[in-house]
Amino acid sequence: MPEHTDTAPTNPGERLKDLRLTRGLTQERLAARAGLSAGVVKKLERGGAARLDTYHALARALGVRTSALFESSGPHSSTRRDDDNIDLMPLRQAIAPPVTFSGRLATVDTIATEPVLTRLRSIANEVGVAYHRDNYGRVAALLPSLVHAAHDAVDYYDNGPECTEALRIRSDVLQMAGRYLTQVRAYDLAHVALRDAIEDAARISDMGGVAAAVYQQGWLLMRQGRLDEAEQVSIATADAVEPRISRATKQTLGAWGKLLVHGSAAAARNNRPQEAREILRLGRTAGAALGSGQAVAVSSWGRFDWRTVAFQGIENQLVAEKPDRVLRLSARLPTPSDKKGKLFARRHLLDVAQAHAMLRQPGEATDILWLLMDETPEWLRHQRMAADTFHDVLSRGKRRRPTSRQRELGAFFGAV
Span 26-85, pLDDT tens digits: 889 898 888 888 888 888 888 887 877 888 888 888 888 888 887 644 444 344 455 555
Shared domain check, 166 and 242: no
Q: Is residue 3 part of a domain?
A: no
What is the model's pLDDT at position 23? 79
Q: What is the mean pLDDT of residues 167-176?
A: 95
What is the model's pLDDT at position 68? 81
Shared domain check, 370 and 304: no
Shared domain check, 347 and 407: yes
Shared domain check, 159 and 141: yes
* End position of a domain, from candidates 157, 175, 205: 205
Span 254-266, pLDDT tens digits: 999 999 999 999 9
Q: Is residue 379 part of a domain?
A: yes
The answer, yes or no, to whether residue 269 has pLDDT greater than 70, is yes
Distance CA 364, CA 219 (A): 28
Distance CA 95, CA 206 (A): 21
Residue predicted with more confidence, 113 or 20: 20
Shared domain check, 161 and 50: no
Q: Is residue 331 part of a domain?
A: no
Shared domain check, 295 and 343: no
Domain that holds residue 57: 12-69
Share of the chain above pLDDT 90, in %: 52
Shared domain check, 118 and 35: no
Q: Is residue 352 part of a domain?
A: yes
For residue 302, give the 3-state DSSP assignment.
Answer: strand
Shared domain check, 315 and 250: yes
Domain total for the chain? 4
Distance CA 195, CA 93 (A): 16
Shared domain check, 147 and 224: no
Shared domain check, 256 and 314: yes
Q: Is residue 76 part of a domain?
A: no
What is the model's pLDDT at position 107? 56
Q: What is the dihedral of CA 102, 104, 110, 113, to 10 degrees?
A: -90
Shared domain check, 159 and 129: yes
Beta strands in 30-181 (DSSP E): 99-100, 103-104
Q: What is the DSSP code string of 296-344?
A: EETTTTEEESHHHHHHHHHHHHHHTT-HHHHHHHHHTSPPP-SHHHHHH
Span 205-215, pLDDT tens digits: 999 899 999 99
Share of the chain above pLDDT 70, in %: 91
Q: Is residue 311 part of a domain?
A: yes
Cβ-contact 201, 171 below 8 angstroms: yes
What is the model's pLDDT at position 22? 78
* End position of a domain, from candidates 205, 229, 260: 205
Shared domain check, 92 and 56: no
Q: Is residue 197 part of a domain?
A: yes
Span 95-105, pLDDT tens digits: 998 888 777 77
Residue predicted with more confidence, 310 or 128: 310
What is the model's pLDDT at position 3? 39
Q: Which residues have CB under 8 Å from 126's CB, separation 6+?
A: 142
| Cβ-based neighbour number of residue 69 at 10 Å | 23
Task: Indicate the DSSP class of residue 270.
Answer: T
Q: Which residues have CB under 8 Å from 18's CB, separation 6+?
A: 4, 9
Span 327-382, pLDDT tens digits: 999 999 988 777 777 788 999 999 999 999 999 999 999 999 999 999 889 889 88
Written as one letter, the residue type at 267 is A
Across the chain, mean pLDDT equals 86
The predicted model scores a pTM of: 0.79
* End position of a domain, from candidates 151, 181, 205: 205
What is the model's pLDDT at position 106? 65
Q: Is residue 6 part of a domain?
A: no
Q: What is the mean pLDDT of residues 300-320?
A: 93
The answer, yes or no, to whether residue 281 has pLDDT greater than 90, is yes
What is the model's pLDDT at position 144? 93
